Amino acid sequence: MKAEIINPFLESARIVIEQVICISPSTGDLGIKNIEIVKGDIWIQVGMTGQLTGNVVFGLKETVALKIVSAMMGGFVITEMDEMGKSAISELSNMISGNASTILYNQGVNVDITPPKIVSPQDDPLFFSKKALSIPLMMAGIGELDIQVMIS
């Protein structure tokens, strides 16, 4: 896994979050880590096919997801992660991944993305035992969104 592969996702996430949530996120430290199962976390998986294959996983605490969804809905306070909330947070992941695939295409790398899906340990226990290239984005007043890339 090459570290520069995460850059299009990082650039895209900054742009999308600034546009949709009106916050400029800061970047944490890049590292390789295991995807860890933590109660109360939400994981959204977007697959990549083409010249690069694998998955991009967006991980965040449910409390952070609720704040993001609230911001996406114009400040309307969301108190539980219902189907509308799950759809909104999945769409944010879709927008980031779609934007990143356009950046990659402009760099000469042809990729397609799969629709986002919320994954849980019950769905695919082996998925949660993999290593990923990971970088956290910190959003003031909201929390942290981890972008984890498992692409080859």
Q: Residue ranges per domain, the chain?
A: 5-151
- How far apart are the C-alpha atoms of 133 and 138, rounded to whole Å? 17
- Measured over the CA atoms of residue 85, residue 80, residue 76 and residue 61, the dihedral's sign is negative
Q: What is the mean pLDDT of the chain?
A: 89
**pLDDT of 129 strictly over 90:** no
Q: How far is CA 36 from CA 43, 57, 90, in A?
A: 10, 12, 19
What is the DSSP secondary structure assignment for residue 116, as one 8-state letter?
P
- Residues with Cβ within 8 Å of 87's Cβ and at least 6 positions away in sequence, in order, are none
pLDDT in tens, 31-87: 888 777 677 889 999 999 999 999 999 999 999 999 999 999 888 888 899 999 999
- Label residue 75 exposed, middle or buried (CB < 10 Å: 0-12, 13-18, 19+): exposed
- How far apart are the C-alpha atoms of 105 and 101, rounded to whole Å? 6
Q: Does domain 5-151 have CATH number 3.40.1550.10?
A: yes
Any idea which residue has 């991980």 for tokens? 59
Identity of the amino acid at 13: A
DSSP string for 41-84: EEEEEEEEEESS-EEEEEEEEHHHHHHHHHHHTTT----S--HH
The answer to which of 14-18, 21-25, 29-33, 111-115 has the lowest mean pLDDT is: 29-33
Confidence category of residue 121, pLDDT binned at 50, 70, 90: low
pLDDT of residue 2: 66
pLDDT of residue 144: 95
pLDDT in tens, 89-99: 999 999 999 99
Could you tell me the pTM of the whole model?
A: 0.90
**pLDDT of 142 strictly over 90:** yes
- How far apart are the C-alpha atoms of 68 and 44, rounded to whole Å? 14
**pLDDT of 22 strictly over 80:** yes
SS3 state at 103: helix
